Copies of this chain bind each other. A is one copy, B any other.
Amino acid sequence: MNYFSTNFTLGILGGGQLGKMMLYETRKWDIRTSVLDPSAEAPCRIAADNFEQGDLMDFETVYNFGKKVDVLTFEIEGVNVEALEKLESEGVKVYPSAATLRNIQDKGVQKQFYKEHQIPTSPFKVYKDKYELNEAIVRKELHFPFVWKSCTGGYDGKGVSIVRSAEDVIPLSEDACIAEKLIPFKNELAVIVARNPSGEVKTYPVVEMEFHPEANQVEYVICPARIDDAAANKARAVASKVSEAFKHVGLLAVELFQTEDDEILVNEVAPRPHNSGHYSIEASYTNQFEQQIRAILDLPLGNTESKVGGIMVNLVGAESHTGPVMYKNIEKILAMEGVTPHIYGKRETRPFRKMGHVTIVNKDLNKARIIAEEVKKTIEVISE
């Protein structure tokens, strides 16, 4: 198949920052793209050859969009799977597949999948609504504390709560949910696995994530993770097992816990480029977006090793600011060594809204970590 400077068209469901960064790679290779997103102001509105505005959860919209492309992918899990299934049955290549997405979209189904495939994960129960959850608590089948997760729609800390008492149950949504055992862990890790239709598989190095204590969003992603080789190898092995079980095509970002006893547990996965892989744009031989394109087009996978150490800092809206965005002190961080900001192109900031990220690279990871803290202290995402 000849993808380069031809009429071959890659369709992308979702036109947010992940799609936008994917478009750097399609532009680099002159691969024709068509993007569907509900917002006319989506970051992908330019740089795609064709942009359509429409509802990603609407069967007809997704189906009609998919009929006009040669390969269809997505940058967000919240898309109409029935439409993907129909498109697949009619010969459109959908990568990752509708089946992969079905196993991931619903967190209850995803946990069940791990159980069936003997993939280590924290013990859990699925409840079809809040009524069932309450009943389990009342009957003392479910004990505090536990981790509550909405089965659908949760991301960036939304749809996840640590429930320590009956009071914490009150604000939870009515939706189907899972309750997981709260397991003390010493590290939150992630491994990105790439797989193409020919079955070639490559894993990226293990990264370490530090979370913002209040917003429950990732604050630093550090590559490579500062863990010993045994733990890193174990994490990569578990991630490979997950990838093997899903037989996905494209990227699979596998989020992991390293427990106090050095067990590796799968937290959850995302079948797409992931926040934990943004460091790769500056640090890796093959960045995750290029790798995604290679994988879904069945091209050979690229080298996943790093040229230099990389740390990623999310740029989120400051707590008390809502309105037109201003990146205060951005010129100061640009003067720091190895610092690259990425601005997603959202005009309005809101508290904790993901507005961009900054990568800090350095041959010495410890130096990068010091500079990352400077970056964090210096730049502010405020409104004018």
Contacts and interface: CB of A to CB of B under 8 A. Distances in A.
A47 B335 CA distance: 27
Interface in A325-371: 325-327, 330-331, 334-335, 337-338, 340-347, 361, 363
A302 interface: yes
Contacts of A29: 341-343
A46 to B, nearest CB: 6
Interface SS of chain A: loop
A248 interface: no
A1 to B, nearest CB: 9
A363 B326 CA distance: 39
Given A49-B46, A285-B338, A338-B285, A5 B361 contact: no
A361 B307 contact: yes
A292 to B, nearest CB: 14
A326 B4 CA distance: 8
Contacts of A23: 27, 47
Given A307-B307, A327-B4, A343 B28 contact: yes
A301 to B, nearest CB: 9
A20 B26 CA distance: 12
Contacts of A5: 325, 327, 343, 345-347
A346 to B, nearest CB: 7
Q: How many subunits of this chain does the assembly comprise?
A: 2
A294 interface: yes
A2 interface: yes
B30 A47 contact: no
B4 A27 contact: no
Contact of A46 (B24, B48, B294, B303): B48
B46 A334 contact: no
A384 B6 CA distance: 11
A308 interface: yes
Contact of A285 (B43, B334, B361, B384): B361
Contacts of A4: 325, 327, 330, 343
A146 to B, nearest CB: 40
B2 A303 contact: no
A303 B338 contact: yes
Interface in A129-158: none
A199 interface: no
Nearest to A325: B5
Contacts of A2: 326-327, 384
Given A29-B341, A285-B338, 8 more contacts: A2-B327, A2-B384, A20-B27, A24-B28, A29-B342, A46-B46, A290-B340, A300-B331
